[in-house]
Chains A and B, each alone.
Chain A
Amino acid sequence: MAVNDLYRLTIHEAHRLLVKGEVTSVELTRSVLERIEAVEERVRAFITVTADLALEQAAEADRRIRAGDATPLTGIPVQLKDVIVTRGIRTTCGSRILENFVPIYDATVARRLAEAGAVLVGKGNMDEFAMGSSTENSAFFPTRNPWDLERVPGGSSGGSAAAVAADECIYALGSDTGGSVRQPAALCNVVGLKPTYGRVSRFGLIAFASSLDQIGPLTKDVEDCALVMNVIAGPDPNDSTTVNIPVPDYTRFLIPDLKGLRLGVPAEYYEGIQPEVKGVLTTAIRVLEGLGAEIIWDVSLPHTRYALPCYYIIAPSEASSNLARYDGVKYGYSYFEAEDVWDAMMKTRQYGFGPEVKRRIMLGTYALSAGYYDAYYLKAQKVRTLIRADFDRAFQRVDALVTPTSPTVAFRLGERTQDPLQMYMSDICTIPVNIAGICGLSVPAGFVDGLPVGMQLIGRAFDEGTLLRIGYAYQQATDWHRRRPPL
Chain B
Amino acid sequence: MRLSREEVLHIAWLARLGLDEAELERFREQLSNILEHFQVLQELNTDEIPPTAHILPLEDVMRDDEPQPSYSLDDILANAPRREGPYFRVMAVLEE
A229 CA / B16 CA spacing, docked (Å): 40
Cβ–Cβ contact B15 & A386, under 8 A: no
Q: A334-B82, A386-B46 are in contact. Are A305 and B40 (CB under 8 A)?
A: yes
Cβ–Cβ contact A383 & B41, under 8 A: yes
Contact of A309 among B40, B50, B51, B52 (CB under 8 A): B40
The yes or no answer to A4 lying at the interface (CB within 8 A) is no
A172 CA / B14 CA spacing, docked (Å): 38
Residues of A within 8 A of B (CB): 100-102, 104-105, 197-198, 211, 237, 240-241, 243, 303, 305-306, 309-310, 312-313, 320, 324, 327-334, 336, 338, 340-342, 344-347, 349-351, 353, 355, 358-359, 361-363, 365-366, 369, 376, 378-386, 388, 420-421, 436-437, 461
Residues of A within 8 A of B56 (CB): 197-198, 241, 243, 437
A310 CA / B71 CA spacing, docked (Å): 39
Determine how close the nearest CB of chain B comes to the CB of A315; give it in whole angstroms: 12
Cβ–Cβ contact A380 & B30, under 8 A: no
Cβ–Cβ contact B53 & A320, under 8 A: no
Task: Mark interface residues in B13-43 (1 if CB within 8 Å of A CB, else 0).
Answer: 0111111100100010011011101101110
Cβ–Cβ contact A366 & B81, under 8 A: no
A421 CA / B35 CA spacing, docked (Å): 10
A341 CA / B14 CA spacing, docked (Å): 15
Contact of B79 among A312, A332, A369, A421 (CB under 8 A): A332
Cβ–Cβ contact B51 & A384, under 8 A: yes
Cβ–Cβ contact A369 & B14, under 8 A: yes
A369 CA / B58 CA spacing, docked (Å): 27
Q: 8 new A-B pairs (CB below 8 Å) besides A349-B17, A361-B15?
A: A101-B79, A240-B61, A306-B44, A324-B16, A336-B81, A349-B16, A359-B27, A421-B33
Residues of A within 8 A of B53 (CB): 211, 381
A306 CA / B31 CA spacing, docked (Å): 18
A237 CA / B55 CA spacing, docked (Å): 19
Cβ–Cβ contact B93 & A312, under 8 A: no
Give the nearest-CB partner of A331 in chain B.
B79
- List 17 interface pairs A-B (beta carbons < 8 Å), by A numbering: A102-B78, A104-B79, A241-B56, A305-B40, A313-B41, A341-B93, A349-B15, A350-B19, A359-B31, A365-B15, A366-B31, A366-B35, A381-B52, A382-B51, A384-B51, A386-B44, A388-B55
Determine how close the nearest CB of chain A comes to the CB of B7; give it in whole angstroms: 8
Cβ–Cβ contact B18 & A334, under 8 A: no
Determine how close the nearest CB of chain B comes to the CB of A329; give it in whole angstroms: 5
A interface SS class: helix
Residues of A within 8 A of B19 (CB): 350, 358
Count residues of B near A (Cβ-Cβ below 8 Å): 48
Residues of A within 8 A of B17 (CB): 346, 349-350, 353, 358, 361-362
Determine how close the nearest CB of chain A comes to the CB of B22; give it in whole angstroms: 11
Cβ–Cβ contact A369 & B27, under 8 A: no
Residues of A within 8 A of B23 (CB): 355, 358
Cβ–Cβ contact A349 & B18, under 8 A: yes
Q: A241-B56, A330-B79, A359-B31 are in contact. Are A340 and B91 (CB under 8 A)?
A: yes
Cβ–Cβ contact B61 & A310, under 8 A: no
Closest 9 A/B residue pairs (Cβ):
A437-B55, A350-B18, A334-B81, A381-B51, A331-B79, A346-B18, A382-B46, A240-B61, A384-B52
Q: A197-B56, A330-B80, A365-B14 are in contact. Are A341 and B92 (CB under 8 A)?
A: yes
Residues of B within 8 A of A381 (CB): 51-53
Q: A361-B17, A366-B31, A384-B51 are in contact. Are A306 and B79 (CB under 8 A)?
A: no
Residue among B8, B34, B75 facing the most chain A CB atoms (10 A cut-off): B34
A303 CA / B91 CA spacing, docked (Å): 49
Residues of B within 8 A of A361 (CB): 15, 17
Cβ–Cβ contact B80 & A331, under 8 A: yes
Give the nearest-CB partner of A316 in chain B.
B34
Cβ–Cβ contact A363 & B34, under 8 A: yes
Cβ–Cβ contact B88 & A330, under 8 A: yes
Contact of B81 among A198, A306, A328 (CB under 8 A): A328
Cβ–Cβ contact B51 & A104, under 8 A: no
Task: Mark interface residues in B54-77 (1 if CB within 8 Å of A CB, else 0).
Answer: 111010010100000001000110
Cβ–Cβ contact B16 & A104, under 8 A: no
Residues of A within 8 A of B55 (CB): 197, 211, 388, 436-437, 461
A382 CA / B45 CA spacing, docked (Å): 10
Residues of B within 8 A of A334 (CB): 81-82
A349 CA / B75 CA spacing, docked (Å): 24
Cβ–Cβ contact B11 & A420, under 8 A: no
Cβ–Cβ contact B49 & A382, under 8 A: yes
Residue among B18, B44, B63 facing the most chain A CB atoms (10 A cut-off): B18
Q: A362-B27, A386-B44 are in contact. Are A312 and B34 (CB under 8 A)?
A: yes
Residues of B within 8 A of A312 (CB): 34, 38
